[in-house]
Structure 1
Amino acid sequence: MQKVSSVILCLFAAAATLTAQARGTIRGTVSDSSGAVIPTVSVTALNVDTGTKQRAVADEAGNYTFPYLQVGNYTVSVERSGFRKSETTGVRVNVATVSDVNVTLAIATTDQSVDVTAAAPLLETNGSNLGKVVETKAITDLPLFISGGSVRSNLAFVILTPGVIGPANNPRIGGGLLDGQSEQLDGAESNSERRNDPAMNGVSVEGMEEFKVQSSGYSAEYGRTSNGVINWVTKSGTNKVHGSAFVFNRNEVFNARAALI
């Protein structure tokens, strides 16, 4: 019985590790206006869409990390007695990506706060991997026939990323071989067992939040691939009611005439 329990615990631990691949990270350092680090500071990460909060405490070097965040927009708040409260809005967390939010606290004379708006980094400096994130706006606004292939396929946007050539239903990533890519859906392998066909091709386009194509230099957590990694994340619920609908319509009036025999 004890062996069975141990096996079950290992399976749950492995599942949690896989799901972590579909999450993002916020990290940073808290310092004062002179550049000296401020230890044991209370830091809060608020998901603007869902209202969920995660809290952390900076270490003795002033560093904090939120390693397992759902994809979305965040507000990072930092508080410490004797300093003005700082709020950094517009922090975007993308799949398999680290967002740096370094905070400088000013000495408070009265109850004051400082609001900062985060800017998207021009260059990714947190790792050696090469990749591109395609966010929900592109998936929602762009036509689904940009790369041919299946109708309303969530793979239609893959060839928009650097280093990828199509067709989208069987792309070559970074010069790799056909049928060699690893496709992750919310952290789980989603290639078919027959061969590396994308088994998640049938997932609704409306259900996709964003994806990241990693062409090279990806970490050891990604395996079973010789052709890059496509990491998809599905949407979660929010505090607002929303939805979408579509319809296929074929009018026979516009059909071409059959060839005369």
Structure 2
Amino acid sequence: MALGQNARFSGQVTDQQNAAIPNANIRAINQDSHSVSESKSNGEGSYTIPFLPAGHYKIEVQASGFSPSMSEDISLNVGQAFIYNIQLTIGSTQSTVSVNAGSEVTQVNTENAEVGGTITGKEVS
């Protein structure tokens, strides 16, 4: 493919206050060929995904502490420099709890107040 036929996505990833989000992962997925091209936003939140063939794309964006974003059916034409700015919203805080215990382990649900566990044959009899 000749250089003039390549297209690209570029833009900035920001939060709801328009502050830059560095190290966001941006994926451009060609919906025709299913090929994936990736980039990462820099310290100013800017990114570029160059050397893309024309086609229909899906853009997926993920960053730590933010809800993921996905946009589908974005048409990219031959030689086009498509500016696609992305604004992410703050995601829900997720916690991981690891418990190491002898023979009894209580399962902790970090979404609500439910507590679960396993009942052994000894406890039933």
Shared fold, TM over 0.5: yes
Matched with 1:105 is: 88
Query: Aligned equivalents of 2:60 and 2:3: distance in 1?
Result: 23
Correspondent of 1:53 among 36, 43, 49:
36
Cα separation, 2, equivalents of 1:32 and 1:110: 16
Find out whether 1:33 has 2:16 as its counterpart: yes
TM-score, normalization by structure 2: 0.71
Shift of 1:110: 6.2
Correspondence 1:65 to 2:48: yes
Unaligned runs of 5+ in 1: 1-17, 112-261
Tell me: higher relative CO, structure 1 or 2? Use CA pairs within 8 A at least 6 residues apart: 2
Report SS of the residue matched to 1:65: strand
Give the whole-Å Cα distance in 2 for the aligned partners of 1:90 and 1:102. Answer: 16
Deviation at 1:90, TM superposition (A): 1.8
Which amino acid is the alignment partner of residue 55 of structure 1?
A: E
Q: When the two structures are aligned, how many residues end up with a matched partner?
A: 94
CA deviations over 1:144-171 (Å, ceiling 9, x no partner): xxxxxxxxxxxxxxxxxxxxxxxxxxxx
Q: Distance in 1 between matches of 2:22 and 2:64?
A: 12
**Cα pair 1:43 1:56 within 8 Å, conserved:** yes
- Between Structure 1 and Structure 2, the one with more strand by share is 2
5+ residue gaps, structure 2, are: 95-125
Matches of residues 1-261 of structure 1 in structure 2 within 5 Å? 19-109=2-92
1:151 matched to which residue of 2?
Answer: none
Higher share in helix? 1
Matches of 1:57 and 1:46 in 2, distance apart? 15
- Deviations 1:111-153 (CA, angstroms, capped at 9, x unpaired): 8xxxxxxxxxxxxxxxxxxxxxxxxxxxxxxxxxxxxxxxxxx
Question: Alignment RMSD, CA only?
Answer: 1.4
1:86 corresponds to which letter in structure 2?
Answer: S
What is the CA-CA distance between 1:67 and the residue it aligns to? 1.4
- The sequence identity of aligned pairs, in percent, is 29
CA contact (8 A) 1:92 1:99 kept: no
